[in-house]
A and B are shown apart, each in its own frame.
Chain A
Amino acid sequence: MLAAIRPAGQDFPVLLHIVGATIVFGALLASVGALALARGQVRLFRIGYFALLFVALPGWILMRLSGEWIYRKQGWNDVPDQLQDPTWLRIGFGVADWGGLLFLVALIVGGIAVLRLRGGKSGAGLLKVTMSIAVVLAIGYVGAVWAMTGKPNYGTAAPAQAAATGASTTAVAVTAREFNFTLSKTSVPDGEIVFTVVNRGKLAHNFWIGGKATPLVRPGQSATLRVTLDRGTFTYICTVPGHAAAGMKGSLTVR
Protein backbone atom coordinates (compact mmCIF):
# COMPACT_ATOMS: atom_id res chain seq x y z
CA MET A 1 0.00 0.00 0.00
CA LEU A 2 2.87 2.29 -0.82
CA ALA A 3 0.68 4.80 -2.56
CA ALA A 4 -2.96 5.68 -2.57
CA ILE A 5 -4.97 5.23 -5.74
CA ARG A 6 -4.17 8.08 -8.10
CA PRO A 7 -5.11 9.31 -11.58
CA ALA A 8 -3.53 7.47 -14.51
CA GLY A 9 -0.15 8.53 -15.89
CA GLN A 10 1.52 9.28 -12.55
CA ASP A 11 2.61 5.78 -11.60
CA PHE A 12 5.98 5.75 -13.32
CA PRO A 13 7.26 9.08 -11.92
CA VAL A 14 5.98 8.04 -8.47
CA LEU A 15 7.91 4.75 -8.80
CA LEU A 16 11.07 6.66 -9.78
CA HIS A 17 10.57 9.11 -6.89
CA ILE A 18 10.18 6.32 -4.33
CA VAL A 19 13.17 4.39 -5.73
CA GLY A 20 15.32 7.56 -5.67
CA ALA A 21 14.25 8.48 -2.13
CA THR A 22 14.94 5.01 -0.72
CA ILE A 23 18.33 4.88 -2.47
CA VAL A 24 19.23 8.21 -0.82
CA PHE A 25 17.98 7.03 2.59
CA GLY A 26 19.78 3.67 2.38
CA ALA A 27 23.04 5.24 1.16
CA LEU A 28 22.90 7.84 3.97
CA LEU A 29 22.46 5.05 6.54
CA ALA A 30 25.34 3.12 4.95
CA SER A 31 27.55 6.19 4.99
CA VAL A 32 26.75 7.00 8.62
CA GLY A 33 27.27 3.36 9.60
CA ALA A 34 30.62 3.05 7.81
CA LEU A 35 31.96 6.37 9.11
CA ALA A 36 30.76 5.80 12.68
CA LEU A 37 32.04 2.22 12.90
CA ALA A 38 35.28 2.65 10.92
CA ARG A 39 37.47 2.54 14.06
CA GLY A 40 40.37 3.95 12.06
CA GLN A 41 40.00 1.60 9.07
CA VAL A 42 40.74 3.71 5.98
CA ARG A 43 38.72 1.42 3.68
CA LEU A 44 35.58 1.91 5.78
CA PHE A 45 36.11 5.70 5.73
CA ARG A 46 36.34 5.54 1.94
CA ILE A 47 33.25 3.33 1.59
CA GLY A 48 31.37 5.75 3.85
CA TYR A 49 32.23 8.60 1.50
CA PHE A 50 31.75 6.67 -1.74
CA ALA A 51 28.28 5.59 -0.56
CA LEU A 52 27.40 9.29 -0.55
CA LEU A 53 29.10 10.12 -3.84
CA PHE A 54 28.19 7.15 -6.01
CA VAL A 55 24.90 5.97 -4.48
CA ALA A 56 23.22 8.80 -2.57
CA LEU A 57 24.00 11.52 -5.15
CA PRO A 58 22.46 9.68 -8.16
CA GLY A 59 19.53 8.72 -5.88
CA TRP A 60 19.03 12.37 -4.90
CA ILE A 61 19.08 13.48 -8.57
CA LEU A 62 16.53 10.77 -9.47
CA MET A 63 14.33 11.70 -6.49
CA ARG A 64 14.44 15.44 -7.21
CA LEU A 65 13.83 15.18 -10.98
CA SER A 66 10.97 12.70 -10.60
CA GLY A 67 9.53 14.89 -7.81
CA GLU A 68 9.45 17.81 -10.24
CA TRP A 69 7.88 15.54 -12.87
CA ILE A 70 5.11 14.51 -10.43
CA TYR A 71 4.61 18.18 -9.46
CA ARG A 72 3.91 19.05 -13.09
CA LYS A 73 1.87 15.89 -13.78
CA GLN A 74 -0.34 16.72 -10.80
CA GLY A 75 -0.79 20.24 -12.10
CA TRP A 76 0.58 22.09 -9.04
CA ASN A 77 2.23 24.58 -11.41
CA ASP A 78 -1.18 25.29 -12.93
CA VAL A 79 -3.39 26.07 -9.94
CA PRO A 80 -4.82 29.50 -9.03
CA ASP A 81 -2.27 31.91 -7.52
CA GLN A 82 -4.26 32.11 -4.28
CA LEU A 83 -3.73 28.40 -3.67
CA GLN A 84 -0.38 27.95 -1.98
CA ASP A 85 1.40 24.62 -2.15
CA PRO A 86 0.21 22.53 0.81
CA THR A 87 2.44 22.14 3.87
CA TRP A 88 3.39 18.52 3.10
CA LEU A 89 4.58 19.53 -0.37
CA ARG A 90 6.58 22.46 1.01
CA ILE A 91 8.19 20.12 3.59
CA GLY A 92 9.08 17.69 0.79
CA PHE A 93 10.64 20.34 -1.44
CA GLY A 94 12.31 22.02 1.57
CA VAL A 95 13.98 18.82 2.72
CA ALA A 96 15.00 17.92 -0.85
CA ASP A 97 16.40 21.37 -1.73
CA TRP A 98 17.96 22.49 1.58
CA GLY A 99 19.01 18.88 2.12
CA GLY A 100 20.60 18.96 -1.33
CA LEU A 101 22.65 21.99 -0.33
CA LEU A 102 23.77 20.31 2.91
CA PHE A 103 24.51 17.19 0.91
CA LEU A 104 26.79 19.20 -1.37
CA VAL A 105 28.67 20.52 1.69
CA ALA A 106 29.02 16.94 3.00
CA LEU A 107 30.40 15.80 -0.37
CA ILE A 108 32.96 18.63 -0.51
CA VAL A 109 34.12 18.18 3.10
CA GLY A 110 34.21 14.39 2.73
CA GLY A 111 36.07 14.70 -0.59
CA ILE A 112 38.78 16.80 1.05
CA ALA A 113 39.03 14.21 3.85
CA VAL A 114 39.40 11.31 1.40
CA LEU A 115 42.10 13.21 -0.51
CA ARG A 116 43.94 13.82 2.79
CA LEU A 117 43.69 10.11 3.61
CA ARG A 118 45.12 9.28 0.19
CA GLY A 119 48.06 11.59 0.92
CA GLY A 120 48.70 9.78 4.20
CA LYS A 121 47.29 12.60 6.35
CA SER A 122 44.42 12.38 8.85
CA GLY A 123 40.96 13.08 7.49
CA ALA A 124 38.96 11.56 10.33
CA GLY A 125 37.83 14.93 11.73
CA LEU A 126 36.45 16.10 8.39
CA LEU A 127 34.74 12.74 7.88
CA LYS A 128 33.06 13.15 11.27
CA VAL A 129 31.63 16.44 9.95
CA THR A 130 30.44 14.56 6.84
CA MET A 131 28.87 11.89 9.03
CA SER A 132 27.10 14.49 11.20
CA ILE A 133 25.59 16.10 8.09
CA ALA A 134 24.51 12.66 6.85
CA VAL A 135 22.77 12.01 10.20
CA VAL A 136 20.90 15.34 9.93
CA LEU A 137 19.91 14.50 6.34
CA ALA A 138 18.69 11.01 7.30
CA ILE A 139 16.51 12.49 10.07
CA GLY A 140 15.21 15.10 7.60
CA TYR A 141 14.26 12.40 5.11
CA VAL A 142 12.31 10.49 7.79
CA GLY A 143 10.38 13.72 8.43
CA ALA A 144 9.83 14.19 4.70
CA VAL A 145 8.52 10.62 4.28
CA TRP A 146 6.08 11.24 7.14
CA ALA A 147 4.94 14.57 5.64
CA MET A 148 4.61 13.26 2.09
CA THR A 149 2.61 10.21 3.16
CA GLY A 150 0.56 11.56 6.07
CA LYS A 151 -0.27 14.86 4.31
CA PRO A 152 -0.98 16.41 7.71
CA ASN A 153 -2.69 19.63 6.64
CA TYR A 154 -5.74 18.13 5.00
CA GLY A 155 -7.83 17.34 8.08
CA THR A 156 -11.02 15.33 7.69
CA ALA A 157 -14.58 16.30 7.04
CA ALA A 158 -17.06 16.61 9.86
CA PRO A 159 -20.58 15.36 9.19
CA ALA A 160 -22.44 17.79 6.96
CA GLN A 161 -24.64 20.36 8.57
CA ALA A 162 -27.69 21.80 6.95
CA ALA A 163 -26.67 24.95 5.16
CA ALA A 164 -28.69 27.81 6.55
CA THR A 165 -29.26 30.32 3.81
CA GLY A 166 -30.28 33.90 4.29
CA ALA A 167 -31.57 36.46 1.83
CA SER A 168 -28.14 37.16 0.30
CA THR A 169 -26.91 33.62 0.58
CA THR A 170 -26.91 31.16 -2.31
CA ALA A 171 -26.75 27.41 -1.80
CA VAL A 172 -24.82 25.32 -4.33
CA ALA A 173 -24.78 21.53 -4.20
CA VAL A 174 -21.47 20.03 -5.33
CA THR A 175 -21.06 16.36 -6.21
CA ALA A 176 -17.50 15.04 -6.32
CA ARG A 177 -16.45 11.82 -8.00
CA GLU A 178 -13.47 10.49 -9.97
CA PHE A 179 -12.48 12.80 -11.56
CA ASN A 180 -14.99 15.64 -11.92
CA PHE A 181 -17.27 18.00 -10.00
CA THR A 182 -20.94 18.56 -10.78
CA LEU A 183 -22.39 21.85 -9.47
CA SER A 184 -26.12 22.50 -9.15
CA LYS A 185 -25.45 26.06 -10.35
CA THR A 186 -22.59 27.35 -12.47
CA SER A 187 -23.68 30.99 -12.21
CA VAL A 188 -24.65 32.63 -8.91
CA PRO A 189 -25.31 36.17 -7.61
CA ASP A 190 -22.53 37.82 -5.60
CA GLY A 191 -22.52 37.53 -1.81
CA GLU A 192 -22.21 34.56 0.49
CA ILE A 193 -22.29 31.17 -1.20
CA VAL A 194 -22.70 27.94 0.75
CA PHE A 195 -21.31 24.92 -1.05
CA THR A 196 -22.51 21.53 0.17
CA VAL A 197 -19.96 19.06 -1.13
CA VAL A 198 -21.00 15.40 -1.31
CA ASN A 199 -18.41 12.79 -2.21
CA ARG A 200 -20.02 10.12 -4.43
CA GLY A 201 -16.67 8.68 -5.50
CA LYS A 202 -14.39 5.98 -4.13
CA LEU A 203 -11.51 8.27 -3.17
CA ALA A 204 -11.25 11.19 -0.75
CA HIS A 205 -11.64 14.65 -2.32
CA ASN A 206 -11.89 18.26 -1.24
CA PHE A 207 -13.30 21.42 -2.83
CA TRP A 208 -11.29 24.65 -3.05
CA ILE A 209 -12.61 28.01 -4.27
CA GLY A 210 -11.79 31.64 -3.56
CA GLY A 211 -8.91 30.81 -1.22
CA LYS A 212 -10.95 28.50 1.02
CA ALA A 213 -11.27 24.72 1.00
CA THR A 214 -13.33 22.03 2.64
CA PRO A 215 -11.47 19.45 4.68
CA LEU A 216 -10.78 16.15 2.97
CA VAL A 217 -14.18 14.51 2.33
CA ARG A 218 -14.09 10.73 2.44
CA PRO A 219 -16.35 8.60 0.18
CA GLY A 220 -20.00 8.86 1.22
CA GLN A 221 -19.33 11.88 3.48
CA SER A 222 -20.13 15.53 2.89
CA ALA A 223 -18.97 18.94 4.07
CA THR A 224 -20.04 22.55 3.73
CA LEU A 225 -17.97 25.54 2.72
CA ARG A 226 -19.04 29.17 3.13
CA VAL A 227 -17.33 31.69 0.87
CA THR A 228 -18.17 35.32 0.10
CA LEU A 229 -17.42 36.16 -3.52
CA ASP A 230 -17.64 39.38 -5.53
CA ARG A 231 -18.47 39.47 -9.23
CA GLY A 232 -16.11 37.59 -11.49
CA THR A 233 -15.09 34.13 -12.56
CA PHE A 234 -13.66 31.82 -9.92
CA THR A 235 -11.74 28.62 -10.47
CA TYR A 236 -12.63 25.66 -8.24
CA ILE A 237 -10.45 22.58 -7.88
CA CYS A 238 -9.81 19.49 -5.79
CA THR A 239 -6.39 19.98 -4.18
CA VAL A 240 -5.69 16.27 -3.66
CA PRO A 241 -2.50 15.61 -5.68
CA GLY A 242 -3.28 15.00 -9.34
CA HIS A 243 -7.06 15.27 -9.06
CA ALA A 244 -7.33 18.76 -10.59
CA ALA A 245 -5.03 17.75 -13.44
CA ALA A 246 -7.25 14.68 -13.98
CA GLY A 247 -10.35 16.87 -14.40
CA MET A 248 -11.57 17.94 -10.96
CA LYS A 249 -11.63 21.64 -11.75
CA GLY A 250 -13.91 24.18 -13.32
CA SER A 251 -15.10 27.74 -13.04
CA LEU A 252 -18.03 29.43 -11.32
CA THR A 253 -19.44 32.70 -12.59
CA VAL A 254 -20.49 35.25 -9.95
CA ARG A 255 -22.72 37.94 -11.48
Chain B
Amino acid sequence: MSFQDWIFSFHLLFAATLVGGLVMSWIVVVALYSTRAADETLGFSRVATIANAAIILGLPGTIALGIWLAILRPEFHPWDGWIIGAIVLWVVATAAVLRSFVEYRKPVAKARELLAAGRAGASEELTALNRSATALLFRAVGSVAIVLIVIDMIYKPGA
Protein backbone atom coordinates (compact mmCIF):
# COMPACT_ATOMS: atom_id res chain seq x y z
CA MET B 1 0.00 0.00 0.00
CA SER B 2 1.28 3.44 -0.90
CA PHE B 3 1.15 6.46 1.39
CA GLN B 4 -1.90 7.73 -0.52
CA ASP B 5 -3.63 4.37 -0.07
CA TRP B 6 -3.10 4.61 3.71
CA ILE B 7 -4.49 8.16 3.76
CA PHE B 8 -7.49 7.01 1.69
CA SER B 9 -8.04 4.03 3.98
CA PHE B 10 -7.92 6.17 7.14
CA HIS B 11 -10.19 8.74 5.47
CA LEU B 12 -12.78 6.01 4.96
CA LEU B 13 -12.29 4.59 8.47
CA PHE B 14 -13.00 8.05 9.91
CA ALA B 15 -16.05 8.31 7.61
CA ALA B 16 -17.28 4.89 8.81
CA THR B 17 -16.76 6.00 12.44
CA LEU B 18 -18.74 9.19 11.75
CA VAL B 19 -21.68 7.50 10.01
CA GLY B 20 -21.61 4.58 12.49
CA GLY B 21 -21.75 7.13 15.34
CA LEU B 22 -24.74 8.80 13.68
CA VAL B 23 -26.58 5.47 13.31
CA MET B 24 -25.84 4.75 16.97
CA SER B 25 -27.07 8.21 18.00
CA TRP B 26 -30.34 7.66 16.11
CA ILE B 27 -30.95 4.42 18.01
CA VAL B 28 -30.52 6.41 21.25
CA VAL B 29 -32.80 9.23 19.96
CA VAL B 30 -35.55 6.71 19.13
CA ALA B 31 -35.13 5.00 22.52
CA LEU B 32 -35.22 8.36 24.34
CA TYR B 33 -38.51 9.22 22.65
CA SER B 34 -40.33 6.72 24.85
CA THR B 35 -38.22 7.34 27.97
CA ARG B 36 -40.02 9.05 30.85
CA ALA B 37 -37.85 8.24 33.89
CA ALA B 38 -34.69 10.03 35.04
CA ASP B 39 -32.53 6.94 35.63
CA GLU B 40 -33.33 5.54 32.16
CA THR B 41 -32.55 8.92 30.57
CA LEU B 42 -29.15 8.91 32.25
CA GLY B 43 -28.63 5.30 31.12
CA PHE B 44 -29.21 6.28 27.48
CA SER B 45 -27.03 9.37 27.89
CA ARG B 46 -24.13 7.06 28.78
CA VAL B 47 -24.65 5.21 25.50
CA ALA B 48 -25.00 8.53 23.65
CA THR B 49 -21.57 9.55 24.97
CA ILE B 50 -19.97 6.78 22.86
CA ALA B 51 -21.95 7.86 19.79
CA ASN B 52 -20.97 11.50 20.34
CA ALA B 53 -17.32 10.53 20.74
CA ALA B 54 -17.45 8.62 17.44
CA ILE B 55 -19.05 11.62 15.70
CA ILE B 56 -16.54 14.08 17.21
CA LEU B 57 -13.67 11.83 16.11
CA GLY B 58 -15.12 11.22 12.65
CA LEU B 59 -16.03 14.79 11.65
CA PRO B 60 -12.53 16.38 11.68
CA GLY B 61 -10.73 13.17 10.69
CA THR B 62 -12.81 12.72 7.56
CA ILE B 63 -12.54 16.31 6.32
CA ALA B 64 -8.82 16.70 7.12
CA LEU B 65 -7.77 13.53 5.32
CA GLY B 66 -10.26 14.18 2.50
CA ILE B 67 -8.74 17.60 1.74
CA TRP B 68 -5.26 16.13 2.05
CA LEU B 69 -6.19 13.48 -0.53
CA ALA B 70 -7.62 16.15 -2.84
CA ILE B 71 -4.23 17.88 -2.72
CA LEU B 72 -2.19 14.66 -3.11
CA ARG B 73 -4.10 13.06 -5.97
CA PRO B 74 -3.45 14.50 -9.43
CA GLU B 75 -6.98 13.68 -10.67
CA PHE B 76 -8.64 15.78 -7.91
CA HIS B 77 -8.33 19.44 -6.87
CA PRO B 78 -9.59 21.07 -3.67
CA TRP B 79 -11.46 23.64 -5.81
CA ASP B 80 -13.46 20.96 -7.72
CA GLY B 81 -17.18 21.69 -7.40
CA TRP B 82 -18.04 18.39 -5.76
CA ILE B 83 -15.27 18.87 -3.16
CA ILE B 84 -16.39 22.43 -2.35
CA GLY B 85 -19.97 21.11 -2.11
CA ALA B 86 -18.81 18.42 0.32
CA ILE B 87 -16.95 21.00 2.46
CA VAL B 88 -20.07 23.22 2.62
CA LEU B 89 -22.20 20.21 3.60
CA TRP B 90 -19.59 19.24 6.20
CA VAL B 91 -19.82 22.73 7.78
CA VAL B 92 -23.65 22.47 7.85
CA ALA B 93 -23.46 18.95 9.35
CA THR B 94 -20.92 19.98 11.99
CA ALA B 95 -22.92 23.05 13.06
CA ALA B 96 -26.21 21.11 13.21
CA VAL B 97 -24.78 18.09 15.03
CA LEU B 98 -22.93 20.22 17.61
CA ARG B 99 -26.12 22.18 18.24
CA SER B 100 -28.06 18.92 18.69
CA PHE B 101 -25.48 17.88 21.33
CA VAL B 102 -26.37 21.05 23.27
CA GLU B 103 -30.10 20.33 22.96
CA TYR B 104 -29.72 16.70 24.08
CA ARG B 105 -27.75 17.83 27.13
CA LYS B 106 -30.90 19.49 28.49
CA PRO B 107 -32.78 16.25 29.37
CA VAL B 108 -29.58 14.88 30.96
CA ALA B 109 -29.31 17.96 33.19
CA LYS B 110 -33.01 17.69 34.05
CA ALA B 111 -32.67 13.97 34.87
CA ARG B 112 -29.76 14.70 37.23
CA GLU B 113 -31.82 17.44 38.86
CA LEU B 114 -34.79 15.10 39.33
CA LEU B 115 -32.62 12.32 40.77
CA ALA B 116 -30.97 14.78 43.17
CA ALA B 117 -34.48 15.70 44.33
CA GLY B 118 -35.26 12.02 44.84
CA ARG B 119 -37.69 11.79 41.89
CA ALA B 120 -36.58 8.73 39.92
CA GLY B 121 -40.03 8.02 38.41
CA ALA B 122 -41.78 9.32 35.30
CA SER B 123 -41.72 13.05 34.71
CA GLU B 124 -43.78 14.97 32.14
CA GLU B 125 -41.15 17.72 31.92
CA LEU B 126 -38.37 15.20 31.29
CA THR B 127 -40.49 13.37 28.69
CA ALA B 128 -40.99 16.65 26.83
CA LEU B 129 -37.23 17.34 26.82
CA ASN B 130 -36.51 13.78 25.61
CA ARG B 131 -38.93 14.44 22.73
CA SER B 132 -37.54 17.89 21.94
CA ALA B 133 -38.45 18.83 18.36
CA THR B 134 -35.52 21.29 18.22
CA ALA B 135 -32.99 18.62 19.15
CA LEU B 136 -34.56 16.22 16.66
CA LEU B 137 -34.50 18.85 13.91
CA PHE B 138 -30.80 19.66 14.37
CA ARG B 139 -29.88 15.96 14.51
CA ALA B 140 -31.94 15.34 11.33
CA VAL B 141 -30.35 18.28 9.47
CA GLY B 142 -26.86 17.08 10.45
CA SER B 143 -27.64 13.51 9.39
CA VAL B 144 -29.16 14.54 6.04
CA ALA B 145 -26.06 16.66 5.33
CA ILE B 146 -23.81 13.65 6.05
CA VAL B 147 -25.92 11.40 3.80
CA LEU B 148 -25.69 14.04 1.04
CA ILE B 149 -21.88 14.04 1.42
CA VAL B 150 -21.85 10.26 0.97
CA ILE B 151 -24.01 10.60 -2.17
CA ASP B 152 -21.76 13.43 -3.44
CA MET B 153 -18.67 11.23 -2.95
CA ILE B 154 -20.18 8.29 -4.81
CA TYR B 155 -21.85 10.20 -7.67
CA LYS B 156 -19.06 12.75 -8.08
CA PRO B 157 -18.43 14.04 -11.63
CA GLY B 158 -16.48 11.54 -13.67
CA ALA B 159 -17.43 8.65 -11.40
Contacts and interface: CB of A to CB of B under 8 A. Distances in A.
Interface string A142-166: 1001100111101010000000000
Nearest to B50: A33
A3 B9 CA distance: 10
Interface string B116-132: 00000000000000000
B120 to A, nearest CB: 12
Interface stretch (A41-49, A107-115, A181-189, A225-233): A41-49
Q: Is the interface of A mostly helix, strand, loop or mixed?
A: helix
Interface residues of A, number: 42
Contacts of B66: 1
Interface centre among A3, A39, A154 (most CB of B within 10 A): A3
Contact of B28 (A15, A30, A219): A30
Contact of A38 (B8, B19, B43): B43
A107 B65 CA distance: 36
Contacts of B50: 29, 33
B123 to A, nearest CB: 16
B12 A37 contact: no
Interface in A186-227: 202-203, 219
Contacts of A154: 1
Given A25-B16, A29-B20, 10 more contacts: A15-B151, A18-B154, A22-B19, A26-B19, A29-B54, A38-B43, A55-B23, A149-B8, A150-B5, A150-B6
15 contacts: A1-B8, A2-B154, A3-B159, A14-B154, A25-B16, A25-B19, A26-B23, A30-B24, A30-B28, A55-B23, A145-B9, A146-B9, A149-B13, A152-B5, A219-B74
A167 interface: no
A156 B5 CA distance: 10
A200 to B, nearest CB: 14
Interface of B: 1-2, 5-6, 8-9, 11-13, 15-16, 19-24, 26-28, 31, 35, 39-40, 43-44, 46-47, 50-51, 54, 66, 69-70, 74-76, 150-151, 153-156, 158-159
Contacts of A3: 153-154, 159
A26 B39 contact: no
Given A47-B31, A145-B13, A156 B154 contact: no
A2 B9 CA distance: 9
A27 B23 contact: yes
Given A44-B43, A150-B8, A219 B75 contact: yes
Contacts of B153: 1-3
Interface of A: 1-6, 11, 14-15, 18-19, 21-23, 25-27, 29-30, 33-34, 37-39, 41, 43-44, 47, 51, 55, 142, 145-146, 149-152, 154, 156, 202-203, 219
A6 B8 contact: no
Given A1-B66, A149-B9, A29 B159 contact: no
Contacts of B22: 26
A37 B13 contact: no
Given A23-B23, A29-B20, A37 B43 contact: yes
Contacts of A41: 39-40, 43
B40 to A, nearest CB: 6
A21 B16 contact: yes
Contacts of B13: 142, 145-146, 149
A26 B50 CA distance: 11
A149 B40 CA distance: 39
A33 B51 contact: yes
Contacts of B19: 22, 25-26
Nearest to A151: B5
A43 B122 CA distance: 14
